[in-house]
Chains A and B, each alone.
Chain A
Amino acid sequence: MPWPVDPQGPLARSIADLYWLMFGAAVIVLAIVVGALVVAGIRFRERPGHQARQYHGNNVLELIWTVVPTLMVISFSVLSFQRLALVNDVDSGAAMTVQAEGKQWVWNFQYPSDPKFKLSDGTYLKAAEELHIPAGQKVKIELSSVDVIHAFYLPSLGGQKDAVPGRATAMWIQADRPGTYNGQCAEFCGTGHADMLITVVAQNPADYAAWQAAAVKQANLFNDPAVAQGKQLFTSLACAGCHTVQGLTGGKVGPELTHIMSQKTPIGGVAGLDVNEANLIKWVSNAPSNKPGTLMPVFSNKAGGPLDDATILAIVKFLETLK
């Protein structure tokens, strides 16, 4: 366990350094106060033959304990001020800029308008909850919110900043080494606040390029006309209300489908119902006939549901892209 939080970037390290400096001074002050309490408690306890000395003050002492703390807080202010530029300079030297949009209760990321992130429909890569950054490089995060105030908080990479509706705020993060760094929304934002998590994956250049290509390819799959129709249906029909596909939908009732095609267990946990096109069609058409009691309703119009075969096939074609 890192104790305390292990600073993993230059900003977090600078914050931690100042913390320990101030901590040293704090321990001394506390030791003086508690030490004086203990010593006085022993030396000046009431006992036979001991008399209190009667006086009202001491100008020299009073001057000392006004001036010394003043000097201390001035030096803390100066030390903090020196680091303020590091905290607030979000722009200079930033390798890339990512927009993070807070929304009850998920963070949506928009990667920069860089050809490497360009998708076949002319937009640029988007993602939710998980952000990939190149290790060892400064990344600017532009924050916004579509509803209430949120705060983007990554304790090991560089603190936090509020995402305020109607205001543009920004912060920066940098991870020294490849790795996965966790954080979450820090400003109370309603019922789902505790689960508004952030995962940052820092990668070295080769891995980052590989991820980038794979992510763009994956996103482009959605833009394939056959798939695009299914995607549109998936997000607009009842599916979205129950299932999460990261970057698209956030339903929590049914299982998450972001990587359904990579799933080892059979659909719905029903033995023999391995994940493939035929079984997906069977499941989506009439889930209760495969697993009595499931919350997922009947969708095929042959069994009294609302959707025809073509629609179900389009949705399954889309699901098949989720690897």
Chain B
Amino acid sequence: MAAIDTPFPVTRPRYTGILEWVTTVDHKRIGALYLWTTFFFFVTGGLLALALRAQLATPDGQILNAEAYNAAFTMHGTTMIFLFVVPVWTGFANYIIPLQIGARDMAFPKLNALSYWLLLSGGIILYSALLVGPPASGWTSYVPLSTLPYSPSHGQDLWLLSLTVLGFSSIFGALNMIVTIFALRAPGMTFSRITLFTWSVLVTSFLLVLAIPFLTVAGVLLLFDRLAGLSFFATSEGSDPLLWQFLFWFFGHPEVYIMVLPGFGVVSEILPVFSRKPIFGYKMIAYSSVAIGFLSFSVFVHHMFVAGVDETLQVFFMISTMLIAVPTGVKIFSWLGTIWHGSLRFKTPMLFALGFIATFTIGGISGVFLGAVPEDVQLSDTYYVVAHIHYVLFGGAVMTVFAAMYYWIPKMSGRMLNERLGQINFLTIFVAMNLTFFPQHELGIEGMPRRIFHYPQSPEWGTLNLISTIGAFLIAVGVAIFLWNFFTSVILGKGKPAGDDPWEADTLEWATTSPPPVYNFPRIPVVHSARPLKEDQPHT
């Protein structure tokens, strides 16, 4: 790896202490703010989930009443999707992408700061709804349930306002990311050499820019209905309730890939490093990300198979939905090809990445069942769907978030997380998530609908629900182990010093110090291959 000398401004922060963080435009600081904030919301949303599971542990639980339960699952879903999984990837991308492409910052540092502060504002707006009566029409907020006559609380208005603000946060962040990846790559860092994490973030960013406006438009129209007495969604005035669903799911399905594609990228980073092998099928993985990106816009009606769409739409969207399993399968098999014939080191990031392959495969397979119209007629809106989305979002996204945490926190903090605690952390989370979500498939098959706060008429669902609840509390133990590990290793500084490249990885973020200096690279590196740190070593 060579380097070119470019003078860069060595600045001194204008402020110190907390003001330094408030005014920062450094992509690493902003990335860290994103990660702190989103992890806080992850814990919050998780506590809500514990309340939900505690209520469902017995057929006629008395912990939450119907109103509280409905509010809790609405806030749980909204928090996890909009305040955790989507922005946590923005946080990682913010920190890591400029390092991986050999840039000194994002293309628009101030816009970057604005994205973060909009995220925090959106979160505060959402939770301020607790003061006026929380929203309770689910994270999908279907009309007419979410219109004024059926949801009179201002909490629903704040929910809509929050999603609008969060939408702008995501759009600005994504535009910034697209420009950064196109314009700020180091010399020689061509599109066939950028990391697969960068590829997946690039596709994700395009999805965000194209999909979020549909949610924003739907949300603002509904806000007009509720606050200004207009009637875009008033069924009494002849509006079709499916209008909301079309707008929402045109956003909502690409949103699923927005949440998992960056995780795919993380796994594509980790597996080669801990197998001491190059990634298997770089191009196929990159192309399949792009294919998933395109296909993700053409599957959304599968959320509405039982809503009365006609058969032509059912057939088209059934086939497109099933087809998306193909590029997803290509990725899974390419990851298996990566570890095959490797020399595998089972460090914590690797454990989470391997565990992810198993759990995400289950989530992908159950998606094919739901894509088949006759099966969807049976399983839609049951716990089968709850199991499916959690295998995708927990088994797919959260597992890879943990992988990314263990992989990159040494780079961000300069300290290694404790390996033994990490292994216990992985084992707990892996067992617990399967314990929580696997029985829910069977509950769905037995006919338990989602979003019910009790089921006294069907006590036979009690056993599996109790198992699921026990699993949920075990997940909480797993998260607590992570927090303890982070606290002792990083905050108390007991972790081993990381050094520049603790994992013997070969991408550019490992070429600089841990944590990296302001402006990342004293000299902009010149790149000659996809594995810039291994260029001096012979490889085939």
Contact = CB atoms under 8 A, between A and B. Distances in A.
Contacts, number: 259
B138 interface: yes
Contact of B150 (A3, A26, A56, A147): A147
A261 interface: no
Nearest to B540: A54
A264 to B, nearest CB: 23
Interface stretch (B3-11, B327-335, B393-401, B509-517): B327-335
Contacts of A188: 70, 137-138, 142, 145, 381, 450-451
Given A4-B446, A57-B284, A69 B458 contact: no
Nearest to B332: A33
A165 B241 contact: yes
Interface in A124-151: 147-149, 151
A81 B315 contact: yes
A97 interface: no
B460 A149 contact: no
A3 B365 CA distance: 21
Nearest to A191: B66
A1 interface: yes
Contacts of A80: 318, 372-375
A84 B311 contact: yes
Identify which of A44, A45, A50, A88 gathers the most chain B CB atoms within 10 Å of its CB.
A44
Interface stretch (B209-217, B219-227, B342-350, B415-423): B342-350
Contacts of A162: 306-308
B361 A4 contact: no
Interface in A143-189: 147-149, 151, 153, 155-156, 158-162, 164-167, 169, 182-189
B244 to A, nearest CB: 10
Interface in B519-540: 539-540
A5 interface: yes
Interface stretch (B14-22, B112-120, B275-283): B275-283
A226 interface: no
A140 B129 CA distance: 43
Interface in B128-163: 136-138, 142, 144-145, 150
B170 to A, nearest CB: 26
Interface in B350-383: 354, 357-358, 361-362, 365, 368-369, 372-375, 377-378, 380-382
A65 B329 contact: yes
A208 interface: no
A204 interface: no
A29 B367 CA distance: 14
A167 B143 CA distance: 14
Contacts of B447: 5, 153, 155-156, 182-183
A193 to B, nearest CB: 6
A211 to B, nearest CB: 22
A70 B382 CA distance: 28
Interface stretch (A13-21, A230-238, A240-248): A13-21
Interface residues of A, number: 82
A52 interface: yes
Contacts of A14: 374
Given A41-B344, A148-B150, A193-B452, A87 B241 contact: no
Contacts of A185: 449
A18 B284 contact: no
B144 A165 contact: yes
Interface string A67-80: 00110011011011
A12 B539 CA distance: 57
B442 interface: yes
Interface string B445-477: 111011111110110100000000000000000
A274 B513 CA distance: 87
Contacts of A26: 365, 368-369
Given A54-B277, A73-B323, A166-B241, A40 B339 contact: yes
A176 to B, nearest CB: 17
B375 A40 contact: no
A87 B280 CA distance: 43
B238 interface: yes
A73 B281 contact: no
Interface string B268-297: 000000011111111110000000000000
Interface in B240-287: 240-242, 275-284
A69 to B, nearest CB: 4
Contacts of A73: 322-323, 325-326, 368
B164 to A, nearest CB: 23
A284 B275 CA distance: 81
A18 B377 contact: no
Contacts of B137: 188, 190
A172 to B, nearest CB: 11
A209 B456 CA distance: 32
A22 B378 CA distance: 14
Contacts of A79: 372
A259 B180 CA distance: 72
A155 B381 CA distance: 12
A155 B365 contact: no
Contacts of B458: 182
13 contacts: A2-B446, A5-B447, A41-B344, A45-B346, A52-B343, A88-B314, A148-B142, A161-B308, A167-B308, A185-B449, A186-B382, A190-B136, A190-B145
Q: Which 8 A-B pairs have the closest CB atoms?
A: A155-B447, A159-B377, A194-B452, A73-B322, A4-B445, A52-B343, A169-B308, A186-B381
Given A44-B342, A153-B381, 5 more contacts: A12-B378, A84-B314, A87-B377, A182-B458, A192-B66
